[in-house]
Structure 1
């Protein structure tokens, strides 16, 4: 049953990626056709057969003895080496006036023998059929003459001379085209399976919902990152007049779905987190707070990432009093809240980085802060630390819901799954996923 399931799963993934597989296979096939017909030059070969006699007659007319006959048969291997020697190739190149070196002639020449016969075949390849035949014949003739001159024997005879071949031996057009099709299919099918089972990035809404069994609340298009700093981070924030951009539409869509999921009239405290740093949770929480405020909802953004706070940079706030001031009992709620240029939006920065952030966030003072804010604001958006530390779990049971940010460029399936399971173990209500930094080709297209 397990094998059947695996087979069905593989077939399902191949079916899902069939469009990519077909296009890739078609591309490699066309590429193979172009290379075969327009790039690769046809190669011809010609063959000359030589016979090495078993009975050898010396120049003085005397026959060799039986032992000498046996030795002459063993000369076939020596002859094979001799055919491609410098002595032979130099003379062939000079006589035919070939435009190749003797090293190239050696590469183009093959000597084929059979231990059970006395036949030596000389096969020469060339881009020109007539040149291949002439070269093969000349190698055979020159070799025969040199054997008689060097060995003082005449036991080599030409059985058949080479003639120009009408069909090239390479490239094999049918084989090349079929091979390009097979290569395209294998590469594309391998990539489809790799993307599913080995490349753990969650780059599409479909992949996120299928892998995590949670709804994607919104897909946020990729925006150019800017350096940290007041002006830098604020460039990535939504502007009050930004209405029709894909970024604004994505966050308005997120706001609508969040409001629907928390449609009770009671104020709500929402936590925004991610598995790792730099996945976009801070900008997501800040922009969500902005679109909430632009909808005439009194909203407060709280930077509860007490280890690496970004709130003061995002909103350009210079106040030093913040969450830690309140949690340590040094400030009141009124003293840590600061307004912004956006109507209905207030900000609470993290404050001075404490040595014990988890203990502060899990304290009763944190419960008290949220309850006090609910009396003043309709929406409380909490930028929490990433799940690599336990701070988020300390906050999880104090909020009304959690939004989990997944980065399409960085987040890995197994790591995100682990973070979500941790939140579910403390019985946090996860509203859904925000898929951040979707590639340009995956952006939602707007008609208005």
Structure 2
């Protein structure tokens, strides 16, 4: 026999397991909050903009082909700026207490579509250090590109600046807590339905017909203790009433 689940059954299961679902969601939110606020280290970000323009000595006007060439060459520059050729000099010249490999992992290079500008972004646990590294890499890159590529078409357009009260880009506690709440609710609902599925006890007449495939001949109502005492209480009340009339 094919088993079907109605919306009423789903609502009943959710109501019955609401405490379990709430507990799992609360635990997920608490764990996410503790990790976000007290365990994860804040990471700050600093960015510089680098302009790729025409070669020095050319006419000031740029045609479409020259702009397209500058845009295409940004892809090459994105590789060069993260290469050991540039980063080794940055580590050496600025006495950075980190390896070239770790410095490479902090760099993100991206460019706007059809633009002659690309952004160099550095992430670090210290906001001042992030600004220092971003400016150091962009300056070193602009100095070394003429030698590496035999061109002089790179200029630092906008250096990184340290703000008064920098805000970390991660972690984002509120976002993490919101995600944990959604995940906790989903996990709680899943566990609730799993427990309901594993519960093979027979509770209602429908369960008898579905599981045993037998007709229900009758139902014995559940009798509470108060219901059992009710006839005795009525007899005692009548007896007391009779005694009062006789007296």
Give the structure 2 partner of residue 56 of structure 1. Answer: 55
Shift of 1:157: 1.0
- Report the equivalent of 2:7: 7
**Of Structure 1 and Structure 2, which has the larger fraction of its residues in helix?**
2
What's the TM-score once normalised by structure 2's chain length? 0.75
2:203 alignment counterpart: 209
How far apart in 2 are the matches of 1:69 and 1:32?
48
Q: Comparing both chains, which one has the higher relative contact order based on Cα–Cα distances under 8 Å and sequence gaps of 6 or more?
A: 2
The TM-score normalised by the length of structure 1 is 0.43
CA distance 1:211–1:147, shift in 2 (3 Å): farther
Equivalent pair of 1:109/1:122 in contact (CA under 8 Å): yes
1:47 paired with 2:40, answer no
- Determine the C-alpha separation between the residues in 1 that align with 2:6 and 2:206: 20
How far the C-alpha of 1:24 sits from its partner, in A, is 1.0
Q: 1:123 matched to which residue of 2?
A: 121
Paired residue total: 209
- 1:38-437 equivalent positions in 2, closer than 5 A: 38-53=38-53, 55-57=54-56, 61=57, 70-165=68-163, 166-197=166-197, 199=198, 201-202=199-200, 207-210=201-204, 213=207, 417=211, 420-421=212-213
Output the CA distance in 1 between the equivalents of 2:19 and 2:38: 28
Gaps of 5+ in 2: 216-247
Q: CA deviation at 1:104?
A: 1.9
Checking the alignment, whether the CA contact within 8 Å between 1:56 and 1:69 is kept in structure 2 is no
Structure 1: give runs of 5+ residues left out of the alignment: 215-413, 426-448
Q: Describe the SS at the equivalent of 2:32.
A: helix
**Helix, strand or coil: the match of 2:202?**
helix
Q: Distance in 1 between matches of 2:42 and 2:192?
A: 36
The verdict on how the C-alpha distance between 1:72 and 1:175 changes in structure 2, with shifts beyond 3 A counting, is closer
Shift of the alpha carbon at 1:213? Answer: 4.8
Contact 2:44 2:124 in 1 (8 A): yes
> 1: CA distance between counterparts of 2:145 and 2:35?
44
Query: Which whole-Å CA distance do the structure 1 matches of 2:50 and 2:183 have between them?
Result: 41
Aligned residue in 1 for 2:230: none
Shift, 1:70, TM fit: 5.0
- Structure 2 vs 1, CA of residues 70 and 208 (structure 1 numbering), >3 Å: closer, same or farther? closer
| Structure 2 counterpart SS, 1:208 | coil
Give, in whole Å, the separation in 1 of the partners of 2:94 and 2:184: 44
